[in-house]
Amino acid sequence: MTETAPTKTTGTDFIPVTPAPATPAPAAPPAPPPVSRGPVGPAETAASAPVNVADQLARIEDKAARIEDKYARSEALLSRVEEKVEGASARMNESARQADLASLRGEVRGMADRVARLPGTGALVLTALITSVLTVALMVAVQRADLDRLLPPSLGGQTQTQTTNP
């Protein structure tokens, strides 16, 4: 097995050239060498190079156009996905706001119920009047029963002082 040294490809010799068969068959008449498989001379290379380069450029342009089309489709798809995500996030925010409002509504309703159970102004005035009347009545009863000495001095009770008669 013989190894071939790697050859560097440059510019126009990017197409590998295969050599013609070394020994033709003895029974068959010699066939004309194929144009594309034989060694290429400098005149043939110069003539076929623009055609190969033009073909290659055309293929590259086709691939570039297909890539641009795919990019445009991907961009359109991403913009539709972005719109859908924005719509979904707006709906989620609205749902969260609705839940917050429902919670706040419940708290306000509970507070209103507690405030409604508080006594009104009339009840407070009546309680104050009853308290003052009962306080006066008890003070009069304490003074008539001569229980002043049981009251503290700050409430008008008598202090225990001894008086001497001359």
Provide the residue ranges of all domains of the chain, joining segments of one domain with +.
45-118, 119-151
pLDDT < 70 regions, the chain: 1-49, 155-166
pLDDT of residue 130: 97
pLDDT score of 52 = 87
Which residue reads 């033009």 in tokens? Answer: 54
Q: Fill in the DSSP letter of residue 28.
A: S
Cβ neighbours of residue 118 closer than 8 Å, sequence gap 6 or more: none
CA distance 60 to 66: 10
State residue 148's pLDDT score: 73
pLDDT score, position 143: 83
What is the model's pLDDT at position 110?
Answer: 95
Tell how many helices (H) and how many strands (E) occur in the chain.
Answer: 2, 0
With a CB cutoff of 8 Å and minimum separation 6, the contacts of 5 are none
What pLDDT does 54 receive?
Answer: 87
Model pLDDT, residue 6: 53
Angle at 43 between CA 38 and CA 45, to 5 degrees: 60
Q: Which structure tokens are listed for 129?
A: 């009047």
pLDDT at residue 44 in the model? 52
- pTM flag (> 0.75): no
Nearest to residue 55, comparing CAs of 19, 9, 7, 15? Answer: 15
CB neighbour list of residue 142: distance below 8 Å, 6 or more residues apart: 148, 150, 151
Say if CB 14 and CB 20 are below 8 A apart: no
